[in-house]
Amino acid sequence: MRQVSSPQPMDSAFHAHRVVDASTRCRQPAPAQAWPADLLKAFCLRMSSQGMCVSQVLMQNDRRYGLEQLSHAHNMADDTLRAMAVQLFRHFEAYQSGISDPH
């Protein structure tokens, strides 16, 4: 009969370091304030109605992901969704440039 040894735990410090390194290369955090919460929620629900699942958490924390979703929405045949994408982009752009109230 073969003896099965118990699995050895990974060095958590090494593993955590690798995860942090991998995530920082792939994702650049965007400030949570760049998107108005109510508009972001409505945008995600509208995208869902079009068959596209959009993560609010990723929209708030991954600049590239957020802008990519706005681009997808802008290219869809839904005028309301396109208007939401434009409005969200204006908020994002205003936040990035330091303008207090986008129009």
**Domain boundaries defined on the chain:** 30-97
| Residue of 90, 95, 28 whose CA lies nearest to 63 | 28
* pLDDT at residue 59, as a whole number: 92
* pLDDT at residue 78, as a whole number: 95
pLDDT per residue, tens digit, the chain (103 aa), is 555 555 555 444 444 444 444 444 455 554 446 789 999 999 999 999 999 999 999 998 998 999 999 999 999 999 999 999 999 999 988 888 877 655 5
Q: What are the residue ranges of helices labelled H in 1-103?
A: 12-26, 37-49, 56-61, 63-74, 79-97
* pLDDT at residue 33, as a whole number: 67
